[in-house]
Structure 1
Amino acid sequence: MNLCVSGDRIPVIFEIEADPAIVCSTNDDNRRPFAQIDELSYYREAEVLFMLGSIFLLNEISLEQSSRDVTISIIRMTLCSDHDSDLKQLHDYMKNEYRSEKTDLFSLGDVMYRMEKFNLSEKYYLRRLKELPSNNRSLGELYQRLGMVANAKGNYDTSLDWYQKSLEILVSTHPSDHVEIGSTHNSIANAHRNRGDHVRALESYNQAVLLFKQAHDENNPSMAMFYNNIGMIYDQEKKYFKALDFNEKSLAIQEKNLPVDHPDLGSSYNNIGGIH
């Protein structure tokens, strides 16, 4: 095996177990075919092409020494079908959460944001902003997205400016208990927290909680996010009993709404463990 090692980088080998009987069924909704394409490869290497959207179950990551005394990271995975019993619930949840029926600059910006490509995300949002008339109802949501990007880039004052524009439009075009208004208060709180202004952050988080309680029940998934954020403030202020209380409230709501293997549950368990 020829290995190219540069600086402090470690070579990675993926070992993938793929059973055609499981992932190449006749059911179109369940198919995730793959094929060996040696004869089509430009470099004439042993290559396997997997269908776009294939799902892999991570089994193990280990470090091994090669014959040249080079450390190699071995990642062992199993190709799964969409209807794998252990993954279907999580797959369906994530598919529903991120699916967008629109393909426009707004949705492209959302995709780039989730990929943490914030400059590209901002570019698409700003291009969309130029297309919209000044009285368009979706401006409030777009301003909020621009605030999220600025916050992620560490530009907290700019973020607050975008959020304030968003809030002004939402308040004038939506009922006072509308969920988007509550979400914007949560975003404003995030920016204040990142600036180190815990007093204003708590005020905005509590306003978000109040508005969501008026529009939804206590077990709405967004309430888990608000409680988690409040818990983070109290944890930073070393008020651990309050931090634990809000993190446990957040976890209780998540357990009622999320699949058992959702990553947010792992984060909540980790937060509670850190407080203890």
Structure 2
Amino acid sequence: MGEYSKALTYYEKDLEISLKALPSNQPDLSAAYNNIGMVYDGMGEYSKALSSYERSLEIKKIALPPNHPDLATSYNNIGNVYNNMGEYSKALSSYERSLEIRKIALPPNHPDFAGSYGNIGSVYDNMGEYS
């Protein structure tokens, strides 16, 4: 099991330094927020995870082209949190947005598609939709 409190301490230090040293739309800031979101997600603190992941996505939307694969990763992470929270329609929407971006940005045989389709399937499974 991960040592979440230690990880969070270091990721928060990373963010604190990055906020002082970097422009507000710098992708490294996005990575710092994403890492904090991962820790909170692992801890089951979903509202904090969601907030961090959404901040990461906001920065990526400013810093990156509109169909950059890193945006797909952010939507996927947000979908994971919603899925864990039982908010399946929001999870599905996030996963579908991730898949849309991947269809534009990646070659059709890219392995990230497996994760996208698996996540969408997981939501339907959790919703009890088997047809």
**What is the aligned partner in structure 1 of residue 68 from structure 2?**
220
For 1:190, which of 30, 35, 38 is the aligned residue?
38
For 2:28, which of 180, 197, 209 is the aligned residue?
180
Q: Flag the structure with higher helix content.
A: 2
User: How many Å separate the matches in 2 of 1:226 and 1:191?
Assistant: 15
SS of the residue aligned with 1:248?
A: helix
Q: Deviations over 1:49-69 (max 9, x none)?
A: xxxxxxxxxxxxxxxxxxxxx
User: How many Å separate the matches in 2 of 1:204 and 1:189?
Assistant: 5
User: How many Å separate the matches in 1 of 2:15 and 2:85?
Assistant: 28
User: How many Å separate the matches in 2 of 1:203 and 1:209?
Assistant: 10
Give the CA deviation at 1:264: 1.1
User: How many Å separate the matches in 2 of 1:221 and 1:170?
Assistant: 23
Give TM-score scaled by structure 2 length. Answer: 0.89
Structure 1, unpaired ranges of 5+: 1-152
Give the CA deviation at 1:207: 0.7
1:249 aligns with 2:97: yes
Give the CA deviation at 1:177: 0.5
Q: State the identity %.
A: 37
Give the CA deviation at 1:270: 1.0
For 1:264, which of 104, 109, 112 is the aligned residue?
112
User: How many Å separate the matches in 1 of 2:52 and 2:67?
Assistant: 20
User: How many Å separate the matches in 2 of 1:263 and 1:212?
Assistant: 22
* Max Rg structure: 1
User: How many Å separate the matches in 2 of 1:202 and 1:243?
Assistant: 11
Q: Flag the structure with higher strand content.
A: 1
User: How many Å separate the matches in 1 of 2:50 and 2:37?
Assistant: 7
**What is the aligned partner in structure 2 of residue 166 from structure 1?**
14
Segment of structure 1 superposing worse, 211-220 or 192-201: 211-220
Aligned-pair Cα RMSD in Å: 1.2
Give the CA deviation at 1:211: 1.2
For 1:229, which of 62, 68, 77 is the aligned residue?
77
Give the CA deviation at 1:222: 1.1
Q: Which has the higher contact order (CA 8 A, sep 6+)?
A: 2
Give the CA deviation at 1:216: 2.1
1:199 aligns with 2:47: yes
1:208 aligns with 2:65: no
Give TM-score scaled by structure 1 length. Answer: 0.43
Segment of structure 1 superposing worse, 240-249 or 255-264: 255-264
**What is the aligned partner in structure 1 of residue 128 from structure 2?**
none
Structure 2, unpaired ranges of 5+: 125-131
Give the CA deviation at 1:212: 1.3
User: How many Å separate the matches in 1 of 2:122 and 2:55?
Assistant: 27
User: How many Å separate the matches in 1 of 2:51 and 2:121?
Assistant: 26
Deviation >2 Å, runs of 4+ = none
User: How many Å separate the matches in 1 of 2:6 and 2:108?
Assistant: 38
Count, aligned residues: 124
User: How many Å separate the matches in 2 of 1:227 and 1:191?
Assistant: 17
